[in-house]
Amino acid sequence: MENTENVIFDRQLNGYNKGQVNRYIAKMSEAYRAAYNEHSAECGRYNDLLEAYKKLEEKEQSRPGADVIAKTLVDAETLAHKIIADANAEAATIIAEARISEKTISEEARAEVETARQRASRIIEDSYLESSLISSQAKKDREQADEIIENTIAKLLGIMTQKRDGADTRQTAVTPVGACA
Q: Which band of pLDDT confidence, cut at 50, 70 and 90, is reported for residue 171?
A: low
Q: Do the Cβ atoms of 4 and 28 come closer than 8 Å?
A: yes
Residue pLDDT, tens place only, 130-141: 888 888 898 999
Say what the pLDDT of residue 14 is. 78
Q: Cβ neighbours of residue 10 under 8 Å, at least 6 residues apart? A: 16, 17, 20
**Which residue blocks in 17-65 are alpha helix, DSSP H?**
18-62
Per-chain mean pLDDT for the chain: 81
Q: Cβ neighbours of residue 31 under 8 Å, at least 6 residues apart? A: 1
Rounded Cα distance between 108 and 155, Å, is: 68
**What are the CA-CA distances from residue 168 to residues 147, 154, 158 (Å)?**
31, 21, 15
Say what the pLDDT of residue 168 is. 63
Residue pLDDT, tens place only, 42-99: 988 898 998 988 888 887 777 666 667 777 778 888 888 888 888 888 888 888 888 8
Q: Do the Cβ atoms of 16 and 9 come closer than 8 Å?
A: yes
Asked whether the predicted pLDDT for residue 148 surpasses 90, the reply is: yes
Rounded Cα distance between 31 and 44, Å, is: 20
Task: Tell me, yes or no, if the pTM score tops 0.85.
Answer: no
